[in-house]
Amino acid sequence: MAILVVGMPGSGKSVFSEAARALGIPVVSMGDVVRLEAVKRGLSQDAKTIAQLAKTLREEGGACAVAKLTLERTPPAPVVVIDGVRSLDEVEFFRRAFEKVLVLAIHSSPRTRFTRLMARCREDDPKRWEEFVERDRRELAMGVGEVIALSDYVLANEGLSREEFLRLCKEWLNRVLTELRARTPNPGEGSQ
């Protein structure tokens, strides 16, 4: 099973990924896949360059080019988390690649996300509100909003400390894993 995580920059996707790793679930970040490709090509790590490279990869390799690169880096496991899905085409690609797919949207308000991004200080994070708005528009143009709107689950990350949201993510993951185990028959059961 794959859990596809979608959210605007600074919403809390990386905290969710941290929760998954803490529970032993492998995580592959689509953004990291693009950043790795930028390094291979000798490109800068700033937001505009990364966004342009993601667009170029999709122009060269089709709408699912980044998803294909991500799948190549995804280890075989009963459950994996894929962080950073950006379009319905990518969701459909992963639905074809995995037996079961859940789409989880993580939501935070723009002001909260901007504050987090300012504190995070990653090279591709915006330094001014105008840059933040421009980045949001690029994300939305890629289809992130459609994926959020059609997600199976939503976790709200507003008014919570990092530790509280991390705990919420672990609780959600444990609930999903428990439901998955309850629906998965043991080998040899029900067959003759």
In a domain, 191, yes or no: no
Instruction: State which residues form the domain around 150.
Output: 2-178
- Cα–Cα nearest to 74, from 30, 40, 21: 30
Percent of the chain whose predicted confidence (pLDDT) is above 90? 76
pLDDT digits (tens, 9 = 90+) for 45-80: 887 888 889 889 999 999 999 999 999 999 999 999
Residue 68 inside a domain? The answer is yes
Asked if residue 183 is part of any domain, the answer here is no
Q: How many structural domains compose the chain?
A: 1
Residue 184 forms part of a structural domain = no
186 within a domain of the structure (yes/no): no
d(CA 189, CA 192): 9
Token pair listed for 166: 């991390």
Residue 158 has pLDDT above 50, yes or no: yes
Where is pLDDT greater, at 118 or 181? Answer: 118
Quote the CA–CA distance of 183 and 126 in Å, as a whole number: 43
> Quick check: is 52 in a domain?
yes
Rounded mean pLDDT of the chain? 91
* 92-147 residue pLDDT tens: 999 999 999 999 999 999 999 999 998 887 777 788 899 899 989 988 988 999 99
- Determine, yes or no, domain membership for 168: yes
- Using N-to-C axis directions, what is the helix angle for 129-142 and 110-120, rounded to 10°? 110
Looking up residue 112, the CATH number of its domain turns out to be 3.40.50.300
Q: Which residues contact 60 (CB under 8 A, 6 or more apart)?
A: none
pTM, 2 dp: 0.88
Specify the pLDDT at position 187: 55
Buried b (16+ CB within 10 A) or exposed e, 16-41: bbbbbeeeebbbbbbbebbbebbeee
Of 119 and 149, more confident: 149
Rg (CA), the chain: 17
Query: Is residue 58 assigned to a domain?
Result: yes
- How buried is residue 190: exposed, middle or buried, by Cβ count under 10 Å (0-12/13-18/19+)? exposed
